[in-house]
């Protein structure tokens, strides 16, 4: 099955725009909030964001990837798939809400913060709104469209960004819970936009089949496990730092915000490639492996210049991102930037495992890696402080990289050397294109 240039252009444009706009609004909100509150208060907000983002991403991966995979299979009953997916979406969200409510007393003690309980309660309400919101987005993505995803996310995050600016300029000393409640309202606004733009894609009839629910669950359970272990492992450093000091978690989070710059092309290309990898799975593992090589090489070409700049000028980057009071994290940022170069390989390994019906491989790799990551954080934070978390991150992503490359080389005929060759070729083609453009302009 060939890759349509029109698909890559349209989906790539909307997906990259969505990632960029989401990042800009997210970063813009961070830029003002980190200056709105003192370091200790912002550390509590950071812990809340860690919980909400971990839950949202983990739950989404459980429902989304299984739905996309089976939606694109030949002969699939898409109406039954939609309602089975919606059921799992709702049930998993309700289960997570119950778990969060039970954990509130524990987290208040662990992080020595009464405010965190109120923030989590706000997110529980937001989670319920996100059930239909995310389902509309999954349905659109399954139909190889990204326009509604872009606009619903833009309205949701843009409204919050505007509110933060207004409060920063005119309303000082608002409590943290005000902004958590504002996120709930903005999620509802995003839901309205998602419904308006995607209602035409909704099934015209109702059909439900428990067998399909079980089918999606059997596939998605490993992805859910991978998502939970991966995101908890990814956030374990900040969670552990939060138990030591709210200041430490705020300082470390400034480095994670910089890492988000690098994650934009990584996640954008991944979301575009996933439906196509799923479609290519029928052509055999070798075809999946070739697409893996191309996608990783493309991502590396985009993030390598940014990673090098961050390593060379960490103090400048932190001053711009979070302010001078956070430049103490310069060395930590350099370590994280180096670790970010492993992310394209690791994320795409997960995608490849899922579409080749081996989600358990990705799950076990992430489970082992994140156990190691948590243990490293406990040990290294005690010995080195904030930079100990960065060292744990670097060691963990390198470990996942090693196991992942071994698996794809054995099962998908992926050649690591070929990826680097494609990176060089891509840069060569970019150079030739630039030279050609310069010659045309000088004529």
pLDDT tens-digit readout, 317-369: 988 888 788 888 899 999 999 998 998 888 888 777 777 777 778 778 888 88
What is the spatial distance between Cα 300 and Cα 266, in angstroms, rounded to a whole number? 8
What is the spatial distance between Cα 235 and Cα 241, in angstroms, rounded to a whole number? 10
- Contact call for residues 274 and 355 (beta carbons, < 8 A): yes
- Between residues 130 and 12, the one the model is more confident about: 130
Distances (CA, A) of 411 to 17, 43, 296, 403, 423: 34, 43, 17, 12, 22
357 — alpha (psi -120 to 50), left (phi > 0) or beta? left
The closest of 29, 108, 91, 93 to 55, measured between CA atoms, is 93
Give the least confident one: 39-53, 381-395, 428-442.
Answer: 428-442
Whether this prediction's pTM lies above 0.75 is answered by no
Average pLDDT for 98-117 = 91
Average pLDDT for 1-24 = 60
Residue 140 in tokens? 């659109």
User: Has residue 10 got a pLDDT over 70?
Assistant: no
What is the spatial distance between Cα 351 and Cα 140, in angstroms, rounded to a whole number? 19
What is the reported pLDDT for 299?
84
What is the reported pLDDT for 1?
41
What is the spatial distance between Cα 409 and Cα 400, in angstroms, rounded to a whole number? 14
What is the reported pLDDT for 254?
86
Phi, psi (degrees; rounded to nearest 5) at 341 = -70, -15
pLDDT tens-digit readout, 190-240: 999 999 988 888 887 888 888 888 888 887 777 777 667 667 777 778 888
Say what percent of the chain tops pLDDT 70.
Answer: 88
What is the reported pLDDT for 419?
85
Other C-beta atoms lying within 10 Å of the C-beta of residue 32: 16
Place of tokens 């439900």: 208
Give the least confident one: 6-15, 52-61, 87-96, 201-210.
Answer: 6-15
pLDDT tens-digit readout, 130-183: 999 988 888 887 777 777 788 888 899 999 999 999 999 998 889 999 999 999
What is the reported pLDDT for 273?
65
Residue 326, C-beta contacts closer than 8 angstroms, at least 6 positions apart: 34, 250, 251, 254, 318, 319
The closest of 238, 250, 181, 327 to 36, measured between CA atoms, is 250
282 confidence band (pLDDT: 50, 70, 90): low
The closest of 293, 238, 274 to 412, measured between CA atoms, is 293
Helices 147-170 & 176-198 angle (0-180, nearest 10): 150
- Between residues 185 and 147, the one the model is more confident about: 185
What is the reported pLDDT for 165?
95
Average pLDDT for 261-273 = 69
* E runs forming strands in 15-65: none
78 confidence band (pLDDT: 50, 70, 90): confident
The closest of 112, 110, 362 to 222, measured between CA atoms, is 362
What is the spatial distance between Cα 11 and Cα 68, in angstroms, rounded to a whole number? 15
What is the reported pLDDT for 3?
47
Average pLDDT for 2-21 = 58
16 confidence band (pLDDT: 50, 70, 90): low
The closest of 319, 335, 343 to 385, measured between CA atoms, is 335
Q: Which of 11-20, 73-82, 120-129 has the highest mean pLDDT?
A: 120-129
322 — alpha (psi -120 to 50), left (phi > 0) or beta? alpha
- Contact call for residues 18 and 146 (beta carbons, < 8 A): yes
* Average pLDDT of every residue of the chain: 83
Burial degree of 11 (CB within 10 A; 0-12, 13-18, 19+): buried
DSSP letter string, 77-132: -HHHHHHHHHHHHHHHHHHHHHHHHHHHHHHHHHTT-SHHHHHHHHHHHHHHHHHH
* Domain map (residue ranges) of the chain: 5-442
73 DSSP assignment: S
271 confidence band (pLDDT: 50, 70, 90): low
Residue 145, C-beta contacts closer than 8 angstroms, at least 6 positions apart: 11, 201
Say what percent of the chain tops pLDDT 90.
Answer: 25
User: Has residue 272 got a pLDDT over 70?
Assistant: no
CA angle 437, 268, 433 (to 5 degrees): 10
User: Has residue 53 got a pLDDT over 80?
Assistant: yes
């Amino acid at each position: 099955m060939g890759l349509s240039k029109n698909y890559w252009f349209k989906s790539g444009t909307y997906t990259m725009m969505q990632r960029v706009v989401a990042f800009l609004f997210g970063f813009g909100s961070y830029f003002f909030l980190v200056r709105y509150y003192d370091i200790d208060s912002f550390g509590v907000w950071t812990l809340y964001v860690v919980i909400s983002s971990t839950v949202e991403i983990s739950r989404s991966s459980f429902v989304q990837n299984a739905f996309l995979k089976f939606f694109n299979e030949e002969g699939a009953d898409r109406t039954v798939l939609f309602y089975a997916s919606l059921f799992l979406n709702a049930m998993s969200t309700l289960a997570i809400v119950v778990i969060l409510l039970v954990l509130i007393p524990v987290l208040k003690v662990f992080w020595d913060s009464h405010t965190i309980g109120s923030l989590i309660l706000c997110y529980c309400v937001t989670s319920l709104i996100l059930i239909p919101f995310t389902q509309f987005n999954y349905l659109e993505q399954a139909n190889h469209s990204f326009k509604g995803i872009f606009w619903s996310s833009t309205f949701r995050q843009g409204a919050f960004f505007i509110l933060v600016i207004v409060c920063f300029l005119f309303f000082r000393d608002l409590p943290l819970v005000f902004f958590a409640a504002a996120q709930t309202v903005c999620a509802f606004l995003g839901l309205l936009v998602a419904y308006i733009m995607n209602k035409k894609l909704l099934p015209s009839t109702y059909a439900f089949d428990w067998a399909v629910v079980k089918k999606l669950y059997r596939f998605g359970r490993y992805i859910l496990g991978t998502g939970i272990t991966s995101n908890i492992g990814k956030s374990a450093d900040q969670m552990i730092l939060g138990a030591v000091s709210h200041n430490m978690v705020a300082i470390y989070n400034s480095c994670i915000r910089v890492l988000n710059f690098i994650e934009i092309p990584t996640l954008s290309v991944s979301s575009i490639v996933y439906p196509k990898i799923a479609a290519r799975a029928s052509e055999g593992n070798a075809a999946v492996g070739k697409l893996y090589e191309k996608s990783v090489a493309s991502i590396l070409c985009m993030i390598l210049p940014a990673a090098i700049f961050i390593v060379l000028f960490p103090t400048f980057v932190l001053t711009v991102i979070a302010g001078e009071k956070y430049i103490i994290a310069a060395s930590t940022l350099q370590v994280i930037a180096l670790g970010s170069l492993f992310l394209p390989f690791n994320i795409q390994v997960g995608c490849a495992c899922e579409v080749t019906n081996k989600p358990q491989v990705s799950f076990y790799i992430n489970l082992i890696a994140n156990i190691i990551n948590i243990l490293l954080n406990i040990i290294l934070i005690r010995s080195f402080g904030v930079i100990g978390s960065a060292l744990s991150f670097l060691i963990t992503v390198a470990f996942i990289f090693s196991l992942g490359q071994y698996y794809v080389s054995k099962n998908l005929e992926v050649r690591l050397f070929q990826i680097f060759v494609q990176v060089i070729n891509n840069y060569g083609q970019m150079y030739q294109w630039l030279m050609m453009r310069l010659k045309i302009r000088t004529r």
